[in-house]
Structure 1
Amino acid sequence: MNQINKKQELLSLAAKIIQEDGMHKLTMDYLAKKANITKGGVLYHFNNKETLIKKMNEMVIEEFETAIEYHISMLSGSYKFTRAYAMATLDCLRESNNTQLTAVLISSREDKNSLKLWKDVTQTWQERFALDEGNPDEILKLRLISDGLWFSIMYEYLDMEQMQQMERIVFEICNSLNQENK
């Protein structure tokens, strides 16, 4: 396995540890044991726990922003960023691996570097919502629904029926906003 894949594997495994065992269980020793490598192998990729946590958060943000940009490229009309944000949120909801990584979001509040990272990125998103073309109340409504989905993802209390219902509601709102353009 190449080093990039090993690094990704360690990030995902660290997120799984946080999700299943709690933030307090994540140590470089425990991660090495779970990954079946030496502590030196973990330290080769991440020189300390803070770097590991920050990299997990950077990975989640990068994946989410990539999904937003993908959806923006597929959309036309008003509310492009808002609809793309909602669709990217649904993407994360559907992917179980991302569900593990969202557990990191809650735990990362303990890490000042990750907290600053999230404050900066949410400020950027806030600016993009404000620049989005369309009714500000409709933008806020879809954003609040999407943020509620993140809350649901973090606490993993969705069953399949609820997930389908949430997807349907988000799609209906996105479609109604798109119809507003016509």
Structure 2
Amino acid sequence: MVDANPPAASRPPATDARTRILDAVEVIVQARGVAALTLDAAAREAGVSKGGLLYHFGSKEALLVGLLARLATCIETEFHEDLARQPPGRGRTTRAMLARTFDHPETVSELHQRAAAIFLAAFHHDPALLDPIREVFARIREKLSEDGLRPGHALAVMAACDGFFMSRIFGMYELDGEEQRAFRTALTSLLESGT
């Protein structure tokens, strides 16, 4: 069985120390939870000195803030990439949300797993740390309100996609391929009936 989180020494080097440190924090939080995150553990996992780590992040909270900011940027960037691939017109943002949820299952599954550990760790440590993520979702929701659909349709699709995400985070249920196709068809039908 291949270790999904190999030690820092066996991973290819990241481009800079800050990225290596955030990658290391993510590995620690995913594997052992926020309680295992210390400055020493992060430095060791990243392959940097403690002084090098402190140059970029002065505290455990700063590590978590950096991790959440990076995840927020990743979520927003990937969403806008999906949005750019959608044809203009009514429902464009809602179609992008469906694409984000269903079109790249491997990427989305990996992002869900990463986000799950980070969201839960941050919420457990300090719920305010999730503010950058909340801001991203507020901007997406604002775009949905400009989507030109009848009231409630875009929000229902967003809530369903978020529910799918939450079901994965908490391991409540997993949809097989056929169920995902049926789920997407139903959401697409809701989108189209709102135009």
**Interval of TM-score (by shorter of Structure 1 and Structure 2):** 0.7 to 0.9
Q: Is residue 83 from structure 1 mapped to residue 98 from structure 2 by the alignment?
A: no
Structure 1 residue 149 and structure 2 residue 161: aligned? no
Q: Which has the higher contact order (CA 8 A, sep 6+)?
A: 1
CA contact (8 A) 1:108 1:115 kept: yes
1:107 positional shift: 1.8
8 Å contact kept, 1:72–1:84: yes
Kindly indicate which of the two structures has a greater share of residues assigned to helix: 1
CA–CA separation in structure 2 for the residues paired with 1:38 and 1:120: 33
Q: Residue by residue, what CA displacement relative to the aligned partner does 1:62-92 show, whole Å, maximum 9, x if unpaired?
A: 1111121111111123221122123224468
- Asked whether the equivalents of residues 153 and 194 of structure 2 are also in contact (C-alpha less than 8 Å), the reply is no
Corresponding residue number in structure 1 for 2:181 = 168
Aligned-residue sequence identity (percent) comes to 23
RMSD over equivalenced CA pairs, Å: 2.9
- Residue in structure 2 matched with residue 25 of structure 1 by the alignment: 36
1:83-127 deviation digits (Å, cap 9, x = unpaired) = 212322446852354222431112222336523323333322222
Corresponding residue for 1:108? 122
Secondary structure of 1:119's counterpart equals helix
TM-score (norm 1): 0.79
Any residues of structure 2 matched to 1:43-62 within 5 Å, and which?
43-62=54-73
Runs of 4+ residues deviating >6 angstroms: none
Q: Any stretches of 5+ residues in structure 2 without a counterpart?
A: 1-12
Q: Which whole-Å CA distance do the structure 1 matches of 2:79 and 2:90 have between them?
A: 15
Q: 1:3 to 1:111 in 2, by over 3 A?
A: farther
User: d(CA) in 2 for partners of 1:123 and 1:84?
Assistant: 16
Distance 1:150 1:27 in 2: 29
Higher alpha-carbon deviation: 61-70 or 89-98: 89-98
- Shift in Å, 1:151: 0.7
1:145 counterpart letter in structure 2: A
1:157, CA displacement in angstroms?
A: 5.5
